[in-house]
Structure 1
Amino acid sequence: MEGHAAAGRIELHRPDGEPVRVLVVDDEPTLTDLLGMALRYEGWQVRSANNGMAAVTTARQFEPDAVVLDVMLPDLDGFQVLRRLREYAPTVPVLFLTARDAVEERIAGLTVGGDDYVTKPFSLEEVIARLRALLRRSGLAVAVREAAVLTVGDLTLDEDSHEVRRGDQSITLTATEFELLRYLMRNPRRVLSKAQILDRVWNYDFGGQANVVELYISYLRKKIDVGRQPMIHTLRGAGYVLRPAD
């Protein structure tokens, strides 16, 4: 299965050059961890809160540029949290997380001043795309072009031309192989789980497809590592990591 090979990424920063700040509010620790991981991958600063009161307190201290806010929280609901946020942060963009079948939640969220919503379950890519759109529309973040060439050891990847080289040898990759290698090269020396790779490269919900990651890792190894000092390593039970060759 082929993925989509996108152009070089445009990074968002605050107008003063500092990283964008995002507050994630949800009472599911796994969800806040996953969202935090994806948002940090964008280069943003992230704080999280697992209930409404903590969200209000953290927002005052953190002064986020955007808030991801679950409607269903154990104390205050998301609408009450938003009303309190608006008292001292009237323009901060808020992206609501709602139940898939709760149409009334979506309408209520936009009525009380929410800027957008996504329904659970969602892909991390969708949340990031919605946040990027809100931030750019609000003027709270500005776009900065990233360098198009990634380099790890003697391996280089040009995000614009899609040229990949190891040393002086050119390497031809399929679209999916390119996306997988790009993700690995954006996170050198960092262990990436199969679930993380699935969500970033294939945009799949978790479960049942982890074998496709193993398959494409093996394809990459044949093109990147065969006959050379290996760069792609497996950590059993944890995932994969790309490191410069010794």
Structure 2
Amino acid sequence: MKRETILIADDEVEIADLVTLHLEKEGYNCVKASDGEEAIHAIQTQSLDLAILDIMMPKLDGYEVTRQIREKHHMLPIIFLSAKTSDFDKITGLVIGADDYMTKPFNPMELVARVKAQLRRSKFNQTTNHSMLIEAGGLAISPEQRSVTLYGETIELTPKEFDILYLLASHPKKVFSAENIFQQVWGEAYYESQNTVMVHIRTLRKKLKEDKNKYIKTVWGVGYTFNG
């Protein structure tokens, strides 16, 4: 069975070594990068299953590394591990395309648990056979290709944005609470779920040009539904 490979990009050697130690104990292969350029090189030249990125790295910061990954439609799960603790930093990371965000100092075992959760979700998305193309008011969602078009124009979504949209669109008119969305998309219960889901919904609406099209409807005090 193939061992999954994880990129750890952090200019703090002690942290990179600590994360590597705990992940290797769980049977993962680890690739380390000490700056953003090394991280991009590793992503381009190696077969990776997940990336753990610091934000404040030399040469290219974690935000820019994530932007470059997502520009190429890369479905690689990304976890930010950063000393930046403000809500603004967390929201920025999630909007750019990270799948999860942990702050330093951190519990290594919690990080391992989050890595496992992201890998489970990624594997499920790759192996589940979806065949139904969803079309609604100019919007076309292909679960097989994990692609979205709006009136023929390709809409670039992060993996989590796609998962949220597909969840809602495949159950039109059904109302999902923020907690329910988080549990189904991230595959775990999480106390910050409401804020995380809200950020992704906001970005989804912007990408879907919801000033002209109303696909995701807020049911105040309850959650969200797809207005297909």
TM-score of Structure 1 vs Structure 2, range by shorter chain: 0.5 to 0.7
- Using the size of structure 2 for normalisation, the TM-score is 0.52
Equivalent-residue separation in structure 2 for 1:55 and 1:97 (angstroms): 14
Alignment of 1:118-133 (within 5 A): 118-133=102-117
Alignment of 1:204-243 (within 5 A): none
- Equivalent position of 2:55 in the other structure: 71
Unaligned runs of 5+ in 1: 1-16, 143-246
Q: 1:29 is matched with which residue: 9, 13, 25?
A: 13
**Deviation at residue 76 of structure 1 after TM alignment:** 1.1
- Equivalent position of 2:82 in the other structure: 98
Name the SS of the counterpart of 1:46 in structure 2: strand
Partner amino acid, structure 1, of 2:39: A
The Cα RMSD (Å) is: 1.8
- Using the size of structure 1 for normalisation, the TM-score is 0.49
Name the SS of the counterpart of 2:15 in structure 1: helix
**Deviation at residue 86 of structure 1 after TM alignment:** 2.3
Q: 2:25 is matched with which residue: 35, 41, 47?
A: 41
Partner amino acid, structure 2, of 1:117: Y
Q: 4+ residue stretches of structure 1 with deviation over 3 A? A: none
Partner amino acid, structure 2, of 1:23: L
- Equivalent position of 1:83 in the other structure: 67
Equivalent-residue separation in structure 2 for 1:25 and 1:67 (angstroms): 8
**Deviation at residue 116 of structure 1 after TM alignment:** 0.3
Aligned pair count reads: 126
**CA 1:141/1:67 → structure 2, altered by over 3 Å: closer, same or farther?**
farther
Q: 2:4 is matched with which residue: 17, 20, 24?
A: 20
The structure richer in helix per residue is 2
Structure 1 residues 3-29: Cα deviation after superposition (integer angstroms, max 9, x where no partner): xxxxxxxxxxxxxx2001100000000
Partner amino acid, structure 2, of 1:43: G
1:134 lines up with 2:113 in the alignment: no
- Equivalent position of 1:241 in the other structure: none
User: Is residue 24–residue 68 contact of structure 1 (8 Å, CA) maintained in 2?
Assistant: yes
Larger Rg: 1
User: Is residue 35–residue 124 contact of structure 1 (8 Å, CA) maintained in 2?
Assistant: yes
**Identity of counterpart residues, as a percentage?**
37
User: Is residue 98–residue 105 contact of structure 1 (8 Å, CA) maintained in 2?
Assistant: no
**Deviation at residue 140 of structure 1 after TM alignment:** 6.6
**Deviation at residue 98 of structure 1 after TM alignment:** 2.2
Unaligned runs of 5+ in 2: 127-228
Equivalent-residue separation in structure 1 for 2:85 and 2:98 (angstroms): 18
- Equivalent position of 2:91 in the other structure: 107
1:51 lines up with 2:35 in the alignment: yes
Partner amino acid, structure 2, of 1:56: I
Equivalent-residue separation in structure 2 for 1:75 and 1:102 (angstroms): 23
- Equivalent position of 1:217 in the other structure: none
Equivalent-residue separation in structure 1 for 2:9 and 2:89 (angstroms): 16
Name the SS of the counterpart of 1:139 in structure 2: helix
